[in-house]
A and B are shown apart, each in its own frame.
Chain A
Amino acid sequence: MSIQCGELCAVIIKQYFGENAQKVADLLFSSGSRNLSSLVKATNLTKAQVSMVLAVLIKFQLVTFEPSFSNENIPEYSIKKEAVLQMLRYPRYVHLMHTKYGTVGSTLTEELLRSGSQTASQVILKCFSSAENKDTMAAYRDTFVQMVRDNYLIRCPMPRITESPVIIPVLEIEQHLLFRPPDLDLGKLQKLQSGATTEVPDGDSYWRVNFDRLHQDFRDNIMTTAVERKMGASAAECFKYILQQMYEKTDAWQKDYSNPITFIEVKQAIEKKSNNLELMKNLDQYITLIAEDNIGFIRKIGETGGGQYVVEMKKVFDELSQVCTENIITEKFGSKASRIFRVIRSKRFIEQEDIQKEAMVPSKEAKLLTYKLFEEQFIQIKTIRKAGGGGSGPAKSFFLFTINEKQIVRMLLDMSYKALFNAISRSSYEKRDNKRLIDKSQKLDSIVEAMKERGESEEYIAEILETLTPPEREVLEKVKARIKTLSSAELAIDDTLFLFQMHQYYNSS
Chain B
Amino acid sequence: MAAAVPDEVVHQLLAVIQANPAGVSNEHIVKQLPELSGEQRVGALNKLLQQGMLDLLRKGEVLFYRVKDPKKSTAPKGADNEEKIVYNIIEEGGNKGIWIRDIRLKSNLNMTQLNKILKNLENKKLIKAVKSVNASKKKVYMLYNLDPDRSITGGAWYQDQDFESEFVDVLNQQCLRFLQMRRDAAKEKRDGPLLTKQMSCCSVKDVHKFISELGISKVSLDEDDLETILKTVVFDGKAERIMLANGSYVYRAVEQPLPPPGIVRTPCGICPVIKNCSTCGQVTPIVCQYLKDWLD
Contacts and interface: CB of A to CB of B under 8 A. Distances in A.
A286 interface: yes
B237 A326 contact: yes
Contact of B235 (A7, A328, A339, A489): A339
Given A295-B257, A327-B256, A415-B274, A429 B194 contact: no
Contact of B193 (A235, A295, A343, A481): A235
A492 B286 contact: no
Interface string A332-366: 10010011001100100000010000111111010
A496 interface: yes
Nearest to B195: A285
Given A323-B257, A425-B285, A360 B266 contact: no
A360 B277 CA distance: 35
Interface stretch (B12-20, B32-40, B109-117, B226-234): B226-234
B3 interface: no
Contacts of A363: 163
Given A342-B235, A360-B168, A425-B279, A328 B274 contact: no
Interface in A253-299: 281-282, 285-286, 288-289, 292, 294-295
B235 A359 contact: yes
Given A282-B193, A328-B269, A419-B263, A229 B285 contact: no
A328 B237 contact: no
Given A342-B235, A360-B168, A234 B193 contact: yes
Contacts of B228: 360
A493 B266 contact: yes
A285 B286 contact: no
A45 interface: no
Interface string B163-185: 10100100010000000000000
A294 to B, nearest CB: 6
Contacts of A359: 232, 235
Given A231-B193, A327-B264, A415 B269 contact: yes
Contact of B262 (A289, A323, A493): A493
B235 A419 contact: no
B2 interface: no
A491 interface: yes
Interface centre among B240, B261, B294 (most CB of A within 10 A): B261
A492 B263 contact: yes
Contact of A426 (B134, B234, B264, B291): B291
Contact of A323 (B231, B237, B296): B237
Contacts of A362: 163, 165
B212 to A, nearest CB: 19
Contact of B255 (A230, A491, A496): A230
A346 to B, nearest CB: 7
B192 to A, nearest CB: 5
B194 A289 contact: yes
Contacts of B277: 418, 422
Contacts of B268: 415, 418-419, 422-423, 493
Nearest to A345: B235
Interface residues of A, number: 68
A320 interface: yes
Interface in B265-284: 265-266, 268-270, 272, 274, 277, 279
A285 B163 contact: no
B295 A331 contact: no
Nearest to B257: A226
A328 B270 CA distance: 8
25 contacts: A227-B257, A235-B193, A285-B192, A285-B194, A327-B258, A327-B260, A346-B235, A353-B134, A360-B157, A360-B168, A362-B165, A415-B263, A416-B263, A418-B277, A421-B285, A422-B268, A426-B291, A426-B295, A429-B285, A478-B296, A482-B295, A489-B265, A489-B266, A492-B262, A492-B263
Interface of B: 134, 157, 163, 165, 168, 172, 192-194, 197, 228-229, 231-232, 234-237, 240, 254-266, 268-270, 272, 274, 277, 279, 285-286, 288, 291, 294-296
Given A419-B269, A423-B285, 10 more contacts: A226-B257, A282-B192, A295-B257, A339-B236, A358-B235, A359-B235, A421-B285, A429-B286, A493-B263, A496-B262
